[in-house]
A and B are shown apart, each in its own frame.
Chain A
Amino acid sequence: MAVSVDEAMSTGPVRDHTPPARRFGGRGRSVLEIALLTVLAVVMLFPVLWMIETSIKENRDVYAIPAKFFDFTVTLDHFKDVFVASSGRSALSASFLNSVVVAGVSTVLATVLGVPAAWAYSRFAVKAKKDQLFFILSTRFMPPVVVVIPIFLMYRQVGLIDTKLGLILIYTAFNVPFTIWMMKGFVDEVPAEYEDAAMLDGYTRLQAFWRFTLPLLLPGIAATAVFALIFSWNEFVFAIFLTSSDDVRTAPPAIAGLIGGTTVDWGLVAAASVVFALPVLVFAYLVRKHLVAGVTLGAVRR
């Protein structure tokens, strides 16, 4: 008791001096802070803002010089162009649908494969567990571009080039390690005694997992799945290398494909980008609490 009081006394004054931020006078500091943050926010958000603005400007205003910030006519034509073309459905809308299918299926697959694997790694004595886990993690160390050529050659051999299945498989392969690592953290936090108790109560191990551990893991699964979904949704390198036809292409290469002709329809590019960004934003918002936990490694202790 006495010791702790002494400690508190001795560290008290020191602690008051340590944080450098405190050296600025209260007011001056907050003004400076706010100014810096404002600059930062403008720099970060301006492209986003500009994208949204461009998507609702008429072409005339898009190309106007000097650029128009406020006094332009609002139109939703670009958004219409994203979805419908003169011949019926647009190629872009087909690519969005492809993105939904590819990202959705690969996320489901990664979850279905990764969650039980994470459970097994967390609960059972697996031979060379640490090495295995490190190996699994190491597949995420290298940038995807490194393997794109070999994958391309392999896919050409087995006929997976320019197929949705090909993309789904490669995204699943990238998401499974991630899912295992992230989910292992969540499973570790659920005490094994729940399953022990359930097994003594007359359930098999699988039933115990299914009925007791799984429900407790649902928030973690949701967060992990959103991460996987965002990865697959945003993925560009494999998509552009492994697919070429319009009815297989996902949105990122399709949008990129809009740029590069003699003229660029910036309004359409911007509108397509807005549509593309929306689902990710919505999902990220829904699981924001877990995203922070995941980023700060709160989910992957041990």
Chain B
Amino acid sequence: MAGIEVTALHKRYPDGTVAVEHVDLSIGDGELFVMLGPSGCGKTTTLRAIAGLERQTTGDIRIGDTLVNDLPPAERDIAMVFQFYALYPHLRTRDNLAFPLRAEGLPKAEVRERVDEAARLMRLGPLLDRRPRRLSGGEQQRVALARALVRRPRAFLMDEPLTNLDAELRADMRTEIKHLQGELGTTMVYVTHDQVEAMSLGHRIAILNKGRVEQIGTPLEVYDRPASLFCAAFIGSPPMNLIEVEVADGKLRSQGGLALTPPPGLPRDRCLVAGVRPEALEVTEPGAERSVPARVVSAEWLGDEIIYVVDHGGQRDVRVRMPPTVRFAADAPVGLRHTGGTPAVYDVSTEELVA
């Protein structure tokens, strides 16, 4: 087992595409580290560089204490699970699992033992004698995971391993992977573009955008204080409301009159935007205490909650998360009240968190 250090990684493909601009990652031993970002931001490329399947243009990669820049994938001692599972189609499950072990030249008895252990961990017993074609998507996924862990590698790399599964199975497998990682204590780098997956799995999350790291932090940090407007818009469903504000008599005031507590150390004379989570707002009866006037644009009933979209001071897309018991009709005049703490504040020109 080992941590992974990625320093100033830059990858330019031969056709000129820059897939990774500049990435620094420091992944601890035994950590479940999630790389999250939109399609095309360079997640897979970064992961493949760590695996040694792609040679970085510049930058260093260290696994444990070894600099692995020039090591072929086979000598890096890591296992990878692909989005498309890449089980060998002509081999039965048992042989698919045994393959990496035979490559190492382990004695037969030990191969058997390890395959059985992995099969037990991933509950593959009845599937051992089937070929991949005769396995369901979820089963193939479990076999792929088992094949990764049978070798007891120093780290697991996962490239969107659950994308091809349906929602329910995905939730199950998520739990399973998290549990397994905890049990084995092996470092895991997990790539996804699904923020729910990232939030529920990761010890820490790195948010990537256009080949750069926008933010690294625990799920809570990333949710509470997104480091940039990009992160603010990316994390959370519905995402943070970004409300233009001005500093006036010790308060942050929006055009519609909403007053927020300013964080300390705000710079003067800049265009500012406050990030307010939908659950930090409240729709009230018009004229309720501390509320400002607003109007319901639309409402989405989601069963356990209602997302109100309200028009507040000309901004027509302010989203508010409310319990399903509170009902307001569309177009109804309502009040809007801030109930959360100090909001995160961003500079419009740099798009970065200022306080």
Contact = CB atoms under 8 A, between A and B. Distances in A.
Contacts of B103: 201-203
Contact of A212 (B78, B88, B104, B151): B88
B73 to A, nearest CB: 4
B333 interface: no
Interface of A: 125, 127, 191, 193-194, 196-204, 212, 215-216
Tell which of B14, B88, B104, B151 has the most Cβ of chain A within 10 Å.
Answer: B88
Interface stretch (B22-30, B79-87, B237-245, B263-271): B79-87
B53 A196 contact: yes
A215 B90 contact: yes
Given A125-B13, A127-B14, A215-B90, A200 B84 contact: no
Interface in B1-29: 13-15
**Interface range for B:** 20 to 34
Tell which of A127, A197, A212 has the most Cβ of chain B within 10 Å.
Answer: A197
B324 interface: no
Interface in B77-118: 78-80, 82, 84, 86, 88-90, 99-100, 103-104
Tell me the dominant secondary structure on chain A's binding face.
helix
Contacts of B52: 199
A212 B61 CA distance: 28
Tell me the dominant secondary structure on chain B's binding face.
loop
Given A125-B14, A202-B103, A197 B74 contact: no
A142 to B, nearest CB: 31
A216 B90 contact: yes
Contacts of A200: 51, 53, 73-74, 76, 78-80, 100
Interface of B: 13-15, 48, 51-53, 72-74, 76, 78-80, 82, 84, 86, 88-90, 99-100, 103-104, 151
A113 B14 CA distance: 25
A198 B79 CA distance: 10
B235 to A, nearest CB: 30
A201 B90 contact: no
A191 B84 contact: yes
A215 B91 CA distance: 11
Contact of A201 (B15, B53, B84, B100): B100
A215 to B, nearest CB: 6
